[in-house]
Amino acid sequence: MSGGADGGIVIGRVGDIADGTGKRFDRSVVGRDPIAVFNDGGAFYAIDDTCPHEVTSLADGWVEDGTVECPLHAAKFCLKDGAVLALPATRGVATHRVEVVGDELVLHPGEAADLGSCR
């Protein structure tokens, strides 16, 4: 992975993450705890990868209508703002700005996305 023009990290190309799926990027790529990047209908979102209820990867969850459902116990999170939408999780996850530049995906770890909410 390489650096983007404004300090972001080029994590791949648009076609690398199929619609309705997520991909985990580890500390070696993002320089911090893992981040999951999701493609939901051609819109890309990035959130902390680890479910706060149980330690499992949200990148392996089910993506639909701007949300991801944890594969372990079905907690649900908004991809726009990281808010928890369904138990058993009781707290949300952080978001990170991700942008499409040409056909590249550029991630800005630690920079919150400003995409509204699911509610």
Q: Look at the alpha carbons of 46, 33, 93, 113 in this order and tell me if their dihedral is positive or negative.
A: negative
Mean pLDDT along residues 11-23: 98
Contact assessment for residue 47 and residue 36, using Cβ atoms and an 8 Å cutoff: yes
Residue 6: CB atoms within 10 A of its CB come to 9
pLDDT given for residue 7 in this prediction: 79
pLDDT given for residue 55 in this prediction: 86
pLDDT given for residue 44 in this prediction: 98
Domains defined for the chain, CATH in brackets: 2-108 (2.102.10.10)
| Torsion of the alpha carbons at 86, 89, 75 and 87, rounded to the nearest 10 | -40
DSSP β-ladder status, 35-40 and 67-69: unpaired
Contact assessment for residue 15 and residue 44, using Cβ atoms and an 8 Å cutoff: no
Q: Is 30 helix (H, G, I), strand (E, B) or coil?
A: helix
pLDDT given for residue 119 in this prediction: 77
